[in-house]
């Protein structure tokens, strides 16, 4: 699934259309390839998690890094009401399908079960539940406004364990949702200081609106570690994002990446690079739960669209 392929705007729009959707299978009809619990595992994909009527290979990966309860590959039928749901003690993935390309996806992570009734200590791993897709989009021909990420997002549930309410450490324990692009310089995809995580935050249980975050990724190590440039939530959200209501994202990726690159360069990463020198390598969206929280994220209308012109 994660083979390298560089796509340019001229190739994307060669059919003569004004815009094109860059996410494959935006309705999740083909299911997911499910990851192992550790990204360093070889291989770190266990196999497909699909509906009984899906014959195509999944375009999305379901990442469950850091879990104590690995969800294995399976084939699960869609219920008569059009709902597809699969899970275990620690997580549940549900798709309410309206059409082949239109769906509402729910990601439920039971962080209380994952915690084993113990608060996570500094340096210990934490459970993730993310949807991921390889992209390979060359930004050389992308002006501001030509690439937009859109979605509607809702936190329908988020609560900490009763036994942990008075012991939570804000420096260590939260439940948070962000969208991330892995970005690298065109000719140096494997070099640490030539790649960053560019993030758009949606929710953080510690804050009404999530703040920005600019630091090295402590979930990675050694020459794999990349700088995180996650922009301030106030750029995207006018009020609390954990209120159980739908919130709409419409983000100009090229313009926002320019801000993130400047932040990274202040810390010695991507030095001298312009946005036009970069490639969007991959995308992920979902939960990182570093404390004992049970939480559900709903997603609908997820799109990454490229357009030849903003006029």
Question: pLDDT, tens digit, for every residue of 121-176?
Answer: 999 999 999 999 999 999 998 999 999 999 999 999 999 999 999 999 999 999 99
The domain tally of the chain equals: 1
Mean pLDDT of all residues in 29-53? 92
How many angstroms separate the CA atoms of 174 and 188, rounded? 34
Q: Looking at the domain assignment, is residue 38 inside a domain?
A: yes
CA dist 236 and 257 (Å) reads: 14
Distance of CA 33 to the CA centre of its chain: 15
Domain assignment present for 144: yes
- Which range marks the domain in which residue 232 is found? 9-307
DSSP symbols for 76-138:
EPPPTTSEEEEE-SSEEEEEEEEETTEEEEEEEEEHHHHHTTSPPPTT----EEEEEEEEEEE
pLDDT band, residue 212 (cuts 50/70/90): very high
Taking CA 141 as the corner, what is the angle to CA 231 and CA 3, rounded to the nearest 5 degrees? 75
Indicate whether this model's pTM tops 0.85. yes
Which pLDDT score, from 0 to 100, does residue 3 have? 41
Residue 161 lies in a domain: yes
**Within-domain flag for 16:** yes
* Distance (Å, whole) CA 166 – CA 100: 45
Out of 29-38, 46-55, 110-119, 201-210, least confident range? 46-55
Quote the pLDDT of residue 42: 85
Q: Would 39 be classed as within a structural domain? A: yes
Q: Which residue in this structure is represented by tokens 């798709």?
A: 95
Question: CATH number of the domain that 160 lies in?
Answer: 2.60.120.260
pLDDT tens digits, one per residue of 57-116: 999 999 999 999 999 999 999 998 889 999 999 999 999 987 656 789 999 999 999 999
Q: Is residue 4 part of a domain?
A: no
Could you tell me which of 95, 237, 243 has the C-alpha nearest to residue 157?
A: 243
pLDDT at 7 over 70: no
Alpha-carbon span 124 to 283, nearest angstrom: 25
User: Mean pLDDT lowest for which of 18-27, 72-81, 98-107, 223-232?
Assistant: 98-107
- Region 208-218: mean pLDDT is 93
User: Which pLDDT does position 310 carry in this prediction?
Assistant: 44
Q: Do the domain assignments include residue 40?
A: yes
Given a contact cutoff of 8 angstroms between Cβ atoms, the answer to whether 159 and 293 are in contact is: yes
Query: For the chain, what is the radius of gyration of the CA atoms?
Result: 19
Does residue 309 carry a pLDDT above 60?
Answer: no
Contact indicator for 22, 135 with CB cutoff of 8 Å: yes
Which of 80-84, 102-106, 190-194, 273-277 shows the highest mean pLDDT? 273-277
**Which carries the bigger pLDDT value, residue 268 or residue 18?**
268
**Contacts of residue 219, Cβ cutoff 8 Å, sequence gap at least 6:** 65, 125
Cis before 60 (ω within 30): no
For residue 91, how far is the Cα from the chain centroid?
A: 16
> How does 77-92 read in b/e, with b if 16+ C-beta sit within 10 Å?
ebeeeeebebeeebbb
- The residues, ordered by sequence, that sit 6+ positions from 16 with a Cβ below 8 Å of its Cβ are none
**Which tokens go with 222?**
């050694």
Q: How many CA atoms lie within 13 A of 225 on its CB side?
A: 8
Structure tokens at 112: 């209380």
pLDDT of residue 311 exceeding 60: no
Is residue 1 situated within a structural domain? Answer: no
Cα 150 to chain centroid, rounded: 13
Q: Name the token pair of 78.
A: 């869609």
């Amino acid at each position: 699934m994660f083979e390298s392929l560089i796509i340019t705007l001229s190739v994307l729009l060669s059919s003569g259309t004004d815009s094109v959707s860059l996410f494959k299978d935006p309705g999740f009809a083909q299911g997911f390839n499910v990851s192992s619990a550790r990204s360093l595992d070889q291989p770190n994909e266990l196999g497909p998690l699909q509906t009984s009527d899906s014959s195509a290979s999944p375009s999305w990966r379901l990442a469950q890094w850091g879990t104590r309860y690995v969800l294995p590959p399976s084939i699960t039928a869609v219920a008569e009401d059009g709902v597809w749901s699969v899970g275990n003690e620690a997580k549940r993935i549900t798709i309410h399908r309206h059409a082949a390309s239109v769906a509402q996806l729910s990601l439920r992570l039971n962080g209380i079960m994952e915690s084993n009734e113990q608060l996570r200590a500094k340096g210990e791993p934490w459970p993730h539940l993310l949807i991921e897709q390889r992209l390979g989009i060359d930004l050389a021909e992308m002006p501001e406004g030509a690439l937009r990420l859109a979605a509607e997002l809702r936190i329908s549930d988020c609560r900490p364990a009763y036994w942990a309410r008075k012991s939570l450490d804000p420096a260590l324990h939260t439940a948070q949702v962000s969208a991330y692009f892995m970005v690298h310089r065109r000719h140096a995809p494997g070099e640490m200081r030539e790649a960053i995580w560019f993030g758009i935050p949606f929710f953080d249980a510690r804050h009404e609106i999530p703040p920005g975050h600019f630091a090295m990724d402590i979930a990675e190590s050694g020459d794999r570690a990349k700088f995180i440039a996650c922009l301030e939530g106030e750029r995207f959200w006018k009020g609390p994002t954990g209120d159980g209501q739908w919130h709409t994202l419409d983000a100009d990726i090229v313009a926002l990446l320019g801000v993130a690159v400047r932040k990274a360069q202040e810390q010695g990463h991507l030095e001298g690079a312009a946005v036009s020198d970069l490639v969007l390598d991959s995308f992920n969206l979902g939960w990182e739960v570093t404390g004992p929280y049970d939480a559900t994220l709903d997603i609908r209308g997820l799109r990454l669209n490229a357009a030849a012109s903003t006029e």
